[in-house]
Amino acid sequence: MSPQYLLSNVHEGLPSPGDVVTLVKGSYHYYHYGCDGFDDRGWGCGYRTLQTLCSWVKGQMSVKGQGQIAEVPSLPEIQKTLMKIGDKGQDFVDSKQWIGSVEVCLCLDTLYDVPSKILHITSGDDLASHISTLVKHFDQMGSPVMMGGSTDNSSKGILGVCQDPASLLVLDPHFYGPLKSVETLCTENWIKWRTVDTFNEDSFYNLCLPQLKSASCS
């Protein structure tokens, strides 16, 4: 889908929950259920978060003048990529199987030659102890983060972190329908700050941290 039909940088203007906030650096497009006419409700959230990350990667590579850059992949293209590299079987293509943080890492590496780190968090209760790691990531890399989990298995984009109160800026890809304004996202909480104590204590979380430095980072 052409970026001209997608909203960009939807976190801008959202009030901060505290004084010490570190945010994504650089532009991205918000990909969500059905945004390209492909109805992926119920299974496509990981793909949509990956597309958001890809839009940021593509934008940063363009700013840096890194030559020919892959377009943001469609959902079928993501599935074919994972099949071609041997991560998935032929039956994965054209299926409604979910993807998580590991698959997001593999696609970023395959399509853009961008490695990622996986941050494993044993439970929602343990999120607070990793705030400093996320602060360092946004300071040094500036890239958006993909968050997946076990019991809490709904994919999320993480666009920033606040140290006090300990909070994550969450971009939810589950919106479906025509989207005309950032205000809709904010009022309906598709983009919002969440304190770490609102995450599921019974779920582990895997975060994919792309290791491409934003052009805005020194």
Examine the residue annotation and report whether 109 is marked as an active-site residue of this protein: no
Residue 146: its H or E element? strand 145-149
Distance of CA 3 to the CA centre of its chain: 16
Residue 3: CB partners within 8 Å, gap ≥ 6?
29, 55
> Token pair of 90, please?
């032929």
Active-site option among 87, 109, 126, 174: 174
Active-site option among 45, 54, 107, 208: 45
DSSP, collapsed to helix, strand or coil, labels residue 118 as: strand
Q: What are the DSSP calls for 36-90, one per residue? A: TS---TTT-HHHHHHHHHHHHHHHHHHHTT-SS-PPPPPHHHHHHHHHHTTSS-G
Examine the residue annotation and report whether 164 is marked as an active-site residue of this protein: no
Examine the residue annotation and report whether 45 is marked as an active-site residue of this protein: yes
Active-site amino acid positions:
45, 172, 174
